[in-house]
Amino acid sequence: MKYLLKLIFTRPVITVFVVYFVLIIVLNWLGYFSVQSRSNIFKLFKDSANVLVEGKVVSEPYVSNKAKRFILKTNSINHIEVKEQVLISMPAGYVINYGDIISVEGKLYRPVSSKNANLFEYQKYLERNEIFFALRVYSFEYIKSQPNIIKKIAIDLKNDIVNKIDDYFLYPSSAILKSLIIGDKTSLDQKIKSVFSDSGVIHILVVSGLHVGFVSVIILFLLKLFCIPLNKASLISIPFIFFYVISTGANPPAVRAAIMLTCIFISLALDREPLIYNSIVLSALVILIFRPQDLFLASFQMSYLATLGIVFLYNKIFKLFKSVKNSVLSFFCGVASVTVSAQLALMPVLMFYFSKVSIVSFFANIIVVPVTGVVLGCAIVFYISTFLSKHLAMFFAYILNIFVSFIVYVTTFLGSLEFSSIVVNRPAILEILLFYMFLFLVFTFKNKRRIIFSSIVLSLNFLLV
């Protein structure tokens, strides 16, 4: 009791998060976040209704299955004021840009998920992102353009990077670079995705915390070259980090990483020692205050579990390599420690959502993740060089192509092995909780207490599940 009171008063952020965490789960169980409670469209219109919608394009349109898709923030539906996000699907021939105010006519419908419980629940995913209805468009009218200027500049930068990559690289290097650097996955075919997935490095093709972390390090390094102190450099880097996140589409994992780094950098700027657990929890609390349904998204859970796993386990695992004196070997031991820490933290969640475990992911990540950081750094230099000299740009393009080809070779080789991944049964929630309890006890307690408590948890796992 005394320890609990001490925790409440010394770590109020963690206490508030735990209370809010429980509140979200209870409200979700009571149906507070259901489509019936949150969707005005559901209350006003029927499924399959023909409607006239006016609103603003709030996402960058993309082409999929010969249809142009984007998110529209509605202003009115059938001349009734309704503020809600709708997923739009219309013929690819229409010219639509982010920030356009448009009027469309079409049929409303609820997106459906697969009846197979082990497959991706598309409808639930959209609902968690506050999209309850989709609209299949029959007619379209452009009204005017009213984009957010910062987001518009970021999107223009992204499109310019895409054009530069297409000018200097051939497929598949161009597709992989566009996905790895700015999150543009439109050029990736299913074969590449499968190979990267089977080898356990699909995460490098989605701009996430890994990429934001590398970019922040690069920005801090560049600022340090101008002799700017770390506390000031960390504060100056924040807008650049968010600009990168916006230009890559502001996908949730990248936004979460940016918010997490902001909490840490603000602590540095205030000359306070950043309490890493407080910073992680504070970033999660900020996100969940504005988007409580993110708590139930796989990407949210995996982002924070991987981060917590690295923070909690890294030093404990790296100590196993304390006898290694060679600097090169020590570097790879550090990468291996990070990989093992993240993989241990993510394993039960990956099994739960994907019913698959990559056997070779440990080796693939040790090799590929450091190279990914090098690729991001070289990509920044390459893009700058395109404005200076074509020959200089071609030189850096050649260097980049070597690194990308190496990544493709490693992932293809490991992903093509017969035992690269195995299908597993989906674990129960109780099994997952017991696994994390076991992990915590093994790496926290020593000697007899570790053996006793860990044995109790394993026994409960076999008896109760």
Give the side-chain half-sphere CA count within 13 A for 85.
15
Dump pLDDT digits (tens) for 34-51: 888 888 888 787 666 788
Confidence band, pLDDT 50/70/90 cuts, at residue 447: low
Confidence band, pLDDT 50/70/90 cuts, at residue 10: low
Average pLDDT over residues 195-207: 77
Asked if residue 237 has pLDDT above 70, the reply is yes
- Contact predicate 312/443, CB 8 Å: yes
pLDDT at 8: 53
Q: Read off the DSSP letter of residue 413.
A: H
In angstroms, rounded to a whole number, what is the distance separating the alpha carbons of residues 238 and 390? 31
Token output for 136: 């299949």
In angstroms, rounded to a whole number, what is the distance separating the alpha carbons of residues 26 and 351? 25
130 burial type by CB count under 10 A (0-12 exposed, 13-18 middle, 19+ buried) = middle
CB neighbours of residue 11 within 10 Å: 16
Asked if residue 1 has pLDDT above 70, the reply is no
What is the rounded (10 degree) CA torsion for 438, 440, 443, 444? -120
Counting residues of the chain whose pLDDT is more than 90, the rounded percentage is 3
What is the full DSSP assignment across 18-81?
Answer: HHHHHHHHHHHHTTTTSHHHH-HHHHHS-TT-EEEEEEEE-S--EEETTEEEEEEEEEEETTEE
Confidence band, pLDDT 50/70/90 cuts, at residue 324: confident
Token output for 382: 């390459």
Average pLDDT over residues 194-204: 77
Rounded to two decimals, what is the model's pTM?
0.77
Confidence band, pLDDT 50/70/90 cuts, at residue 56: very high
pLDDT at 4: 47
422 φ, ψ (degrees, to nearest 5): -130, 145
Largest CA distance in the chain: 73
Asked if residue 455 has pLDDT above 60, the reply is no
Give the side-chain half-sphere CA count within 13 A for 152.
10
Dump pLDDT digits (tens) for 390-405: 889 899 899 999 998 9
Give the side-chain half-sphere CA count within 13 A for 288.
22
Cα–Cα distances in angstroms (integers) from residue 319 to residues 71, 80, 315, 316, in the given order: 48, 64, 6, 6
- Contact predicate 104/53, CB 8 Å: yes
Token output for 40: 């005005």
Dump pLDDT digits (tens) for 268-296: 666 555 567 777 888 888 888 888 888 88
Higher per-residue pLDDT: 115 or 216:
216
For 336, residues 6+ apart whose C-beta sits below 8 A from its C-beta are 321, 362, 366
pLDDT at 48: 65
120 φ, ψ (degrees, to nearest 5): -60, 125
Dump pLDDT digits (tens) for 58-81: 888 888 777 888 899 989 888 888
Confidence band, pLDDT 50/70/90 cuts, at residue 264: confident
> What is the residue whose two structure tokens read 């570790």?
450
